[in-house]
């Protein structure tokens, strides 16, 4: 029976292992083959005069990154990784890799991100890359667990829609028989409609599509969004939930992803809660003092402004109480000052991670806000109708999974957090 490489110890007597050939060192009379599976590395040592002829012949044919099955005895040795080596009595090539390889898996030759993404299946053989996706998987698992523990219902909403969610722009049009259709930018309208359905607490982790033409290290055209919506809650309630989600994600990674963090050489600190909550007005003041741009109340926060405020704050923080004018139509204005709304962003010092708000639940006010944004209410009729037949007060947020992983692991490019990213120039693989 095949055993995982990590289970081969200096005390193991015999082993059958299957893996990829990570590295070959042929010293003439002696050859070393470093095998790799998803659990670790194992040195196979072939003394050509002593090894069976068939082993020597097969090993000679085996190129780097071929899949091989090797059986033999295990010897303890200080000189090999993990303090043991395998002395083979059989060596079988299961699937031979052609050479040259499109990408050097052993990382001796550095590769550009585009070459890596073009050959993602090879790139992901690297332990450091695989570690990112093990951590991403653990984060998904942890967030699912937390939300189920807190009584949420997981929903799946359509990604094919007839109109924009967040405004009129940034939509990918779709050929949908004789109708006009688009890829959805956000499950916003659907999660709100499920509040009208009485589901009370819903979440969805799914792709969102944004046809933004820019090409940055923190934007994708297809991103993964963690979306929640809660009835009978205000913006502060859902900010509290967002803190629990972030802390649970970091905690799960520190508790369950030790080897992956080691591969990435990361010591993860769990963010302390509560996260500071500063108002938009305070954020503008900080930015105005720190950057050379003209910036005043009512402006969107530029990338430079976000960075300057992030540097000042140094930890995760919320920006609350945004001008109603620069937040989406569904954000609830304060009763005593409707120019300010109950919207917030969750910020990591490097970038925005999440946006959310208490929502408008009154039909007429929502209609007014849609018109005030210059949007046409006709496109929203399916969304507006539920507000006429018993819509509870509610709040929610959308958290970018890719940015969460990117900031958690200090990745320089959001594409590193996504297996097969979609950007301005990339639709394959």
- Residues in touch with ligand AMO (CB under 6 A): 166, 186, 188, 210, 212, 219-220, 223, 225, 227, 352-357, 396-398, 400, 402-403
List residues bridging with 206 in a β-sheet.
225
The candidate with the shortest Cα–Cα distance to 90, out of 38, 15, 146, is 15
The DSSP letter of residue 139 is H
Q: Which of residues 42-71 bind ligand ATP (CB under 6 A)?
A: none
Site string for ligand ATP, 216-255 (x = CB under 6 A): x--x------------------------------------
Does 425 sit near ligand ATP (CB under 6 A)? no
Angle (CA) 142 401 275, round 5°? 75
Cβ 330 to ligand AMO shortest distance, Å = 7
Using CB under 6 A as the binding rule, the residues of this chain from 354 to 383 that contact ligand ATP are 355
Using CB under 6 A as the binding rule, whether residue 352 contacts ligand ATP is answered as yes
The runs of H, that is alpha helices, within 203-359 are 235-256, 258-264, 280-290, 303-313
Residues sharing a CB contact under 8 Å with residue 308, sequence separation 6 or more, in sequence order = 286, 287, 290, 291
Distance CA 12, CA 74 (A): 6
Query: Which residues lie closer than 8 Å to 104 by C-beta, 6 or more apart?
Result: 111
Using the rule CB under 6 A, give the single segment among 17-25, 211-219, 332-340, 380-388 that binds ligand ATP. 211-219
Per CB under 6 A, 188 contacts ligand ATP: no
Provide the β-strand partners of residue 20.
36, 67
d(CA 157, CA 11): 53
The whole-angstrom separation of Cα 5 and Cα 41 is 6
Q: By C-beta, is 51 or 287 nearer to ligand ATP? A: 287
Q: Which is nearer to ligand ATP, 72 or 356 (CB)?
A: 356
> Is residue 169 within the footprint of ligand ATP (CB under 6 A)?
no
Per CB under 6 A, the segment of 88-96, 274-282, 299-307, 404-412 that binds ligand ATP is 299-307
> Does residue number 404 form part of the binding site for ligand ATP (CB under 6 A)?
no
Work out whether 301 is an interface residue with ligand ATP (CB under 6 A). yes
Min dist CB 204 to ligand ATP, Å, is 17
Give the up-direction half-sphere exposure of residue 308: CA atoms within 13 A in the CB hemisphere.
18
Beta bridge partners of 228: 203, 397
* 29-37, 101-109, 278-286, 347-355 -> range binding ligand ATP (CB under 6 A): 347-355
C-alpha separations of 405 from 9, 129, 248, 249, 399 in Å: 33, 13, 13, 10, 11
Cβ-based nearer residue to ligand AMO, 121 or 420: 420
How deeply is 117 buried, as exposed, middle or buried, from its count of CB atoms within 10 A (0-12, 13-18, 19+)?
Answer: buried
State yes or no: residue 108 binds ligand ATP (CB under 6 A): no
The minimum distance between CB 215 and ligand ATP, in angstroms, equals: 8
The annotation places the binding site at: 166, 210-212, 218-220, 352, 355, 359, 400-403
The annotation places the binding site for ATP at: 210-212, 218-220, 352, 400-403
The annotation places the binding site for L-aspartate at: 166, 210, 355, 359
Binding site for ligand ATP (CB under 6 A): 214, 216, 219, 300-303, 306, 351-352, 355
């Amino acid at each position: 029976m095949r055993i995982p490489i990590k289970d081969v110890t200096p005390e193991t007597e015999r082993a059958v292992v299957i893996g990829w050939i990570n590295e070959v060192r042929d010293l003439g009379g002696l050859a070393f083959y470093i095998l790799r599976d998803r659990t670790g590395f194992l040195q196979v040592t072939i003394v050509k005069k002593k090894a069976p002829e068939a082993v020597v012949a097969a090993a000679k044919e085996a190129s780097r990154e071929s899949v091989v099955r090797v059986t033999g005895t295990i010897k303890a040795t200080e000189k090999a990784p993990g303090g043991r080596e395998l002395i083979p009595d059989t060596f079988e090539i299961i699937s031979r890799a052609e050479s040259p390889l499109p990408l050097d898996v052993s990382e001796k030759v550095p590769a550009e991100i585009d070459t890596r993404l073009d050959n993602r299946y090879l790139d992901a053989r690297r332990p450091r890359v695989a570690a990112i996706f093990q951590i991403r998987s653990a984060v998904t698992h942890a967030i699912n667990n937390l939300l189920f523990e807190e009584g949420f219902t997981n929903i799946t909403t359509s990604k094919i829609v007839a109109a924009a969610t967040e405004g009129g722009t940034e939509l990918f049009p779709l050929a949908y028989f004789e109708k006009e259709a688009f890829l959805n930018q956000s499950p916003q309208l659907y999660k709100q409609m499920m509040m009208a359905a009485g589901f009370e607490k819903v979440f969805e982790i799914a792709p969102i599509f944004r046809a933004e033409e820019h090409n940055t290290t923190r934007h994708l055209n297809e991103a993964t969004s963690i979306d929640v919506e809660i009835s009978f809650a205000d913006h502060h309630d859902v900010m509290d939930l967002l803190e629990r989600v972030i802390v649970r994600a970091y905690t799960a990674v520190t508790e369950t992803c030790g080897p992956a963090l080691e591969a990435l050489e990361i010591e993860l600190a769990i963010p302390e809660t509560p996260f500071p909550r500063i108002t938009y007005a305070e954020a503008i003041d900080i930015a105005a003092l720190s950057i050379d741009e003209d910036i005043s109340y009512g402006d969107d926060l530029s990338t430079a402004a976000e960075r300057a405020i992030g540097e000042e704050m140094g930890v995760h923080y919320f920006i609350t109480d945004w001008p109603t004018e620069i937040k989406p139509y569904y954000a609830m204005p304060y009763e005593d000052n409707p120019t300010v709304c109950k919207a917030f962003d969750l910020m990591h010092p490097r970038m925005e991670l999440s946006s959310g708000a208490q929502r408008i639940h009154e039909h007429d006010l929502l209609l007014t806000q849609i018109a005030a944004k210059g949007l046409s209410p006709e496109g929203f009729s399916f969304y507006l109708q539920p507000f006429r037949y018993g819509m509870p007060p509610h709040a929610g947020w959308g958290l970018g999974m890719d940015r969460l992983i990117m900031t958690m692991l200090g990745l320089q490019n959001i594409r590193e957090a996504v297996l097969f990213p979609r950007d301005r120039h990339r639709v394959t693989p």
